[in-house]
Structure 1
Amino acid sequence: MKKIYYKNHCIQKKWGQIFLNDQNVINAIVKSINPKKYQKIVEIGPGLGALTKQILDTIDIDFLILIERDSNLVNRLIQMFNKKIKIFSQNVMITNFFDLSKQFGQKLRLIGNLPYNIATELIIYLFKYLNVIDDMHFMFQKEVGRRICADPNNKEYGRLSIVTQYHYKTIPLFKIPATSFIPIPKVESLMIRFIPHTNTPYPVIDVKTLSLLTELAFRQRRKTLRNSLSTFFNQTEIIQQGINPTLRAENITINQYCTLAAILNNK
Structure 2
Amino acid sequence: MNGPPHEPAAPGLPSLRDTIARHGLEARKSLGQHFLLDEALCRRIAAQAGDLAGRQVLEVGPGPGGLTRALLASAAAVVTAVELDRRAVAALAELEAVYPGRLRVMEADALGIDVAALLPAPRVIVANLPYNVATPLLVGWLRHAAALERMVLMFQQEVAERICAAPNTEAYGRLGVLAQWRCRAQLLLSLPPGAFSPPPKVWSAVVGLVPHPDDPGPALFRTMERLTAAAFGQRRKMLRGALKPLGGAEALLAAVGIDGARRAETLSVAEFDRLARALLARDAA
Question: TM above 0.5, one fold?
Answer: yes
Query: 1:40, CA displacement in angstroms?
Result: 1.4
Query: 1:252, CA displacement in angstroms?
Result: 1.0
Q: Distance in 2 between matches of 1:233 and 1:257?
A: 16
Query: 1:209, CA displacement in angstroms?
Result: 2.1
How many residues align? The count is 258
- In structure 2, the residue matched to 1:141 is 156
Picking from 184, 187, 198, the partner of 2:202 is 187
Structure 1 segments of 4+ aligned residues over 4 angstroms from their partners: 202-205, 234-237
- Normalising by structure 1, we get a TM-score of 0.87
Picking from 156, 169, 182, the partner of 1:167 is 182
Q: Distance in 2 between matches of 1:211 and 1:134?
A: 22
Q: Which amino acid aligns with 2:109?
A: N
Q: Does 2:237 correspond to 1:223?
A: yes
Query: 1:113, CA displacement in angstroms?
Result: 0.6
Picking from 87, 93, 103, the partner of 2:111 is 93
Query: 1:6, CA displacement in angstroms?
Result: 4.8
Query: 1:81, CA displacement in angstroms?
Result: 3.9
Q: Does 2:69 correspond to 1:43?
A: no
Q: Distance in 2 between matches of 1:130 and 1:237?
A: 28
Cα contact 2:173–2:232 (8 A) shared by 1: yes
- Normalising by structure 2, we get a TM-score of 0.82
Query: 1:204, CA displacement in angstroms?
Result: 9.3
Query: 1:90, CA displacement in angstroms?
Result: 1.1
SS in 2 for 1:10: coil
Picking from 19, 30, 44, the partner of 1:14 is 30
- In structure 1, the residue matched to 2:44 is 28
SS in 1 for 2:144: helix
Q: Distance in 1 between matches of 2:251 and 2:279?
A: 14
- Structure 2: any 5+ residue segments left out of the alignment? 1-18
Query: 1:132, CA displacement in angstroms?
Result: 2.6
Change (3 A) 1:26 1:243: same
Deviations 1:39-73 (A, max 9, x none): 2112111111111222333x355542211121221
Q: Which amino acid aligns with 1:225?
A: L
Deviations 1:77-109 (A, max 9, x none): 1123411411112111112222222xxx42211
Change (3 A) 1:75 1:230: closer
Deviations 1:192-222 (A, max 9, x none): 011122125x899622222222222212211
Deviations 1:221-252 (A, max 9, x none): 11222332345345465345222222111001
Picking from 140, 146, 165, the partner of 1:150 is 165
Cα contact 2:55–2:77 (8 A) shared by 1: no
Picking from 213, 220, 234, the partner of 1:206 is 220
Change (3 A) 1:229 1:69: closer
Deviations 1:162-208 (A, max 9, x none): 122222221110111111000110010110011122125x8996222
Q: Distance in 1 between matches of 2:154 and 2:66?
A: 14
Q: Percent identity among equivalent residues?
A: 29
Q: Does 2:211 correspond to 1:196?
A: yes
Q: Distance in 1 between matches of 2:104 and 2:217?
A: 39
Q: Does 2:71 correspond to 1:55?
A: yes
Q: Which amino acid aligns with 1:98?
A: A
Q: Which amino acid aligns with 2:161?
A: R
